[in-house]
């Protein structure tokens, strides 16, 4: 039981660190114009409403969101020592709820919103699958079956 709780918490922490690292990269590659304080959300929202965001910045954000969900599932699988799909699905849904709340606060192109929402749960499930395989607890296809 304790291992399961630790797996979920560790997954959330690792995914959050990954997400924030890529978002920080986005701010370096696509810096905000002079005069906009990155800690002032209202100023940032106004800037995005007025000017939008570069496609490259949106792609980095997609990678941060899907990657955070993937890393959450991966760490969860490694700590739980199994492909724990229910926990990964819950982690993916939590990430998706965060993404939906951001989409409600910041304007985004429709393509971004759709892709963003669709990627969270599959990314977490893929992560936990790979985490479970990494622990040797998920059966891998045999060579004879693939021939």
3-class DSSP assignment, residue 54: coil
pLDDT tens track for 57-102 = 999 999 999 999 999 999 999 998 888 899 999 999 999 999 999 9
Separation CA 135–CA 128 (nearest Å): 11
Domain boundaries, the chain: 2-146
pLDDT at position 32:
83
pLDDT at position 80:
87
pLDDT tens track for 14-27 = 999 999 999 989 88
pTM of structure? 0.84
Shortest CA distance to 73 belongs to which of 1, 12, 3, 6? 12
């Amino acid at each position: 039981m304790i291992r399961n709780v630790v797996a979920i918490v560790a997954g959330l922490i690792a995914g959050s660190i990954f997400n924030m690292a890529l978002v920080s990269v986005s701010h370096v590659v696509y810096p905000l114009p002079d005069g906009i304080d990155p800690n002032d959300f209202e100023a940032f929202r106004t800037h995005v409403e007025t000017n939008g965001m570069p496609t490259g910045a949106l792609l980095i954000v997609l990678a941060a969101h899907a990657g955070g969900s993937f890393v959450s599932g991966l760490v969860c699988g490694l700590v739980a020592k199994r492909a724990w799909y229910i926990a990964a699905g819950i982690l993916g849904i939590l990430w998706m709820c965060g993404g939906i709340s951001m989409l409600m606060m910041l304007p985004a192109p429709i393509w971004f919103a759709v892709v963003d929402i669709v990627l969270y749960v599959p990314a977490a499930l893929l992560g936990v699958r790979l985490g479970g395989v990494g622990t040797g607890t998920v059966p891998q296809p045999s060579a004879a079956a693939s021939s």
